Structure formats: structure tokens, C-alpha cells
Copies of this chain bind each other. A is one copy, B any other.
Amino acid sequence: MILRINTRTRTHAFEKPGAYAGLGGRALTSRVIRSEVPADCHPLSGENKLVIAPGTLTGTTAATSGRISVGAKSPLTGGIKESNSGGIVSQKLAKLGIQGIILEDKPEQDAPFMVIRVSKDGVTIEDAPATGSMGIYDYAKILDEKYGKAACAVIGAAGEMCLKASTIQFTDMAGRPARSAGRGGMGAVMGSKRVKAIIVDDAGAPGVTYADKDAFMKAGKRWAEILRTHPITSQGLPGFGTAILINIINEAGALPTKNFRTGRFDRASQVSGEKMVELIEKRGGKAKEGCHVGCAIQCSQMFVDEKGEYVTSGFEYETLWAMGPNLLIDDMDTLALLDRHCDEYGVDTIEMGNALAMYMEAGVIPWGDGKAALEMLKKIGARDPLGRILGNGATYVADAFGVDRIPVVKNQSLPAYDPRAVKGVGVTYATSPQGGDHTAGYAVCQNVLSCGGTVAPHSKEGQAELSKNLQIATAAIDSTGFCLFVAFAVLDTADALQTICDLISAKYGQTVTPNDVVALGTQILTDEQEFNKAAGFTKVHDQLPRWFRQKLPPHDVTWDFSAEELQAAKV
């Protein structure tokens, strides 16, 4: 069922899926946005909608299938957005038989915030407990006390202020709101609708059904085996988290340093996954943790301070990079605090790292000054004007201070791979309907990790085709609820794609082939591209900022794709 909630009237309705039958995750969010949202509407207007959807395999016993998709017209990019998160909401929704939640319309700008609670007994909507200056961690506790231990999606100060970089935070298995639908300002859309939190309680839920349970169990066993045997999903990621990439990407000369001035940071080892695990083991944290029930990869962790007290989890490579090498900050504890504060206020760590870089470009705070960066970040919680500027992302900060070296595509900050030194991911940044995003087509696999084949990172040769194929595959994966990281194993395992098809076929009782998966991914990208076109995007927007034509040390590589060459990466 689709749960449709009108946030102005505080009414709701359960609907049959109708035209949305069979769609999950990103396939559902992008289809709803393309079908129901006027592409030229203001992202904070009542005409925008926020769609929250588990994947088609979420709630099943298939390993690592508990991700959630959040979609809307993005306040950051002005285009369509699917933002993907872990946490435990997704599986609970699936078990309640809810294919997706669609938040519609909006109340008056100064209406009280509301909490929406979804359970087997239906939906209740009531005024949210007051926020005050509270961060999301404390607020989640308040929700826990009021509504009982339950999974939730919640926004922080940034979302309440409708800032462009605001996230929706999802609670993890320990009840910590540490998982983010981070990119594209989904929290601002939720905030504009005056929804502070959505609580999902699956007590007594019917659970998911299987057309052929035996076949599903058989395929599920093989699926777990595939994830358990690939070195990246079984050793690299569980061992050091995504932060294992710091040393690897630095070695490749592709770790953007000081706002993409060089590809190498001389103190990279101090902010590496190896260093993180060393500290965690010494201090008594937890080096290995899943973001949702049934994850076979376990790339998260519990990072603790010198006293052994919890600081943060979901402490990703992207965050370490954005706040670390990108800002010349080399202290792991400072980076952990920055990560925690991003979660507390509900802001995207990638966007914040780049936005703080703009403050450093402008001389507002000094390069490498972690304390100053943290103080600036706290201004979001304080709802200070400088915090509002920061919370609106990199371009917004740059515009306030006359900075023109802004690393964005479609106004979204670039992630932790310099596109000149990993050209395949550069093509993805340029051409993804999502804006500057690595996850949309992670060519780092073939360009650097020799996973799924090898494509030379500094050459243009083959990158557009590689990126296109990865974008299609990724869109399809994002519709299943599988974590994108399963791709490492899928790319290197001959029967992996067929196994995914077997899982879907067994659950839904319709035979799904690899061709169907490709068609689904292509359809998702088509929905997204068509929405963006109607919103005013052209191939001019499918390009990196011009200053990436400057040479990047140490390999002195430049960005040399023409707009026409890049169009080959689009479906």
C-alpha cells in the first residue's frame, strides 16, 4: 500500500499501488516525483512531495537489503533527488506492508511541527514535542520516551530552517539517529511540510510475503555467500569501514586536498581507516557494525573518545575526507566531532566539508583550523546567520563571500575523488541526474580498485560507457533496498546478478531477468532525466566547473571532456 499524508490538513489515506505497482526504493521515489510534482515548482512549496520508500527486497531475509530511498525535487540542485540511507525504518515499513509514504502539501510557514506515527493500527499525527536548541540525538531520546523505543526519521535544526544541505536522519539498531539521507536537502522538504519526525513501529506487523519461499531461501543463501567471499565486502569494508579508501585514494593521487588543489594529502595516514580502527580498538569502541538488521558487510562502527565515550558512528570516508584533507585538518577526534555535529543538526557531511572550504577560501576561518570549523558548524545549531549560510551549502557560502572556486555540479558538492584523477567518476559527477555524486555510478571500482574490470583512470577512453552502465546498474540496485556496496561483489561474481533476479522472482512470483534489471535502471534514469529537463536542465549542466581544466598534482591530470563527449554517458 501507498500511504499518502496531507501535511496541511493532517489527514492520510492508504492507497493501492496502482501505476506504482512493483516499484520500490528509487524506482518508486523518482516515478512519483516525475508523475506528480510540477518540475518548475519551488522545492519548498506545497506542490513538492517527499517520498520515502523501502526497496523491493527490503524486509526480506536477503542480506544487506534494508536501505531506504527518499525522493523529492531537491532544494539544493533544483532537480530530482533520491537520497539513500541505512537505519531501521525501511524494514519496518516493509513489514507493515507500506510500499512508500508520500508527504504532500504544506501547512502555514509558522505552523507547529508535527510527528507522524505509523503502526499496524494506522497513522496518528500530532504536534511535535518542542525542539529548543536540542540536537537530534537528544530529540530522538525524547521521542523514545514519548512513543516507546521505535524507529524514526527525524530532521534537525537545518531541516527546520529548510536549509539546502539538510538531511533526514534515521535511527540505527542502537536507536541512534546516526544514519543520513544526506544529499540534496531532503530534510528541508520535510521541514517545509512542518514534519519533525516520522516514527515507524512494526510491532505486530504482518511482515513480508514470498511467492516462493523455498526458492527465496535458496537464492538468499547463495547471495550471502557471494557477499561473504568477496575481499571488499568481507574484509576491506568490515575491517576498516569506507575509511579504508583514504590511503588507497591518496596513493592514487586522487584525494582532493585543500579544495581540490592537489590529489595528495601529506598527513593522510592520520585520518585513515587504519588509524580510526587503531583508535577504536585502543579506546574500546566498536570497529564493525551494520546500519540495519541483516547487513552482511558491517562497514559502520562506533567511534569513541579518549574516555571511551560514544562520539559518532557511520563515520565515513566521505566525511573524513570532506572535513579532513579537503580542509587540511588532520585530527581524527576533531573529525569525529564534526561528523557528530553534522548529525546533530541534520546536515550533509559532504556538503558541509565543501561549504567549510568556501569559508576557508574566503579567509573567514583559517585552513586546517579544526576548532574554527567546529565553531562555524555549531552556528547552524544556534540558527546564526553564518550557520544559515553554511547550511545552504558550498555555493551559497561562496556567494556570500565572493568565492569562485566552487566544486559543485548542479549545485551539489563533489565527493572525495578528484574527477581529473578518476575520470570515470568525474563523468558520473557531470552527468548524473542527481548532481555531483559518486554513488550514482561508482567508476572508482574499475578506475582504481580493479573491481569489475580495469579502466585506466587518467584516460578518457571508455569512461563514458563505464559510467553509463554503472549509473543504470546503480539505479536498479537502489530500487531493491540493497546497499550499493553489494556492487563490489556483484561486479566480480559471475552468478551474482542472476542471484538478485532469483531473489526478486521468488519474492514476487514473476520471472525477472538481468535484461529486466537493465531496463528498470534505464527507466529510472529516464524518469530522472525527463524531470530535470522539464525543470530547465540542459547538457550545459552536465559538466564540471571550468577550473577543473587546471592541472592536478601529483599526476598533472586535467579535466578534458567536452559537453558532447559527456552526453554519451546518458541513457
CB atoms of A385 and B404 under 8 A apart: no
CA distance A546 to B534 in the complex (A): 14
Q: Which residues of B contact A541 (CB under 8 A)?
A: 536
Supposing A385-B385, A546-B41, A546-B47 touch, asked if A402 and B188 sit within 8 A by C-beta, the answer is yes
Q: Which of A515-557 contact B (CB under 8 A)?
A: 534-538, 540-541, 543, 545-547
* Segment among A147-155, A271-279, A392-400 that sits at the interface with chain B: A392-400
CB atoms of A540 and B536 under 8 A apart: yes
Q: Which of A41, A42, A535 has the most CB of B within 10 A?
A: A42
B-contact bits for A141-184, CB 8 A (1 contact / 0 none): 00000000000000000000111100000000000000000000
CA distance A537 to B535 in the complex (A): 11
CB atoms of B40 and A402 under 8 A apart: no
Say if the beta carbon of A38 comes within 8 Å of chain B.
yes
CB atoms of A363 and B47 under 8 A apart: no
Say if the beta carbon of A406 comes within 8 Å of chain B.
yes
CB atoms of B164 and A363 under 8 A apart: no
Supposing A385-B385, A389-B385, A536-B538 touch, asked if A545 and B42 sit within 8 A by C-beta, the answer is yes
Nearest B residue to A42, CB-CB: B404
Supposing A543-B40, A546-B42 touch, asked if A109 and B402 sit within 8 A by C-beta, the answer is yes
Jot down 25 A-B pairs with beta carbons below 8 A, ordered by A. Answer: A39-B540, A41-B546, A42-B404, A42-B406, A43-B404, A44-B402, A45-B547, A47-B546, A75-B399, A110-B363, A188-B402, A192-B402, A385-B385, A385-B386, A385-B389, A385-B400, A388-B400, A388-B401, A389-B389, A389-B400, A392-B399, A396-B399, A535-B540, A536-B538, A536-B540
Name A's B-contacting residues (CB within 8 A): 38-45, 47, 75, 109-110, 161-164, 188, 191-192, 361-363, 384-386, 388-389, 392, 396, 399-404, 406, 534-538, 540-541, 543, 545-547
The 4 tightest CB contacts between A and B, nearest first, are: A162-B402, A536-B540, A385-B385, A42-B404
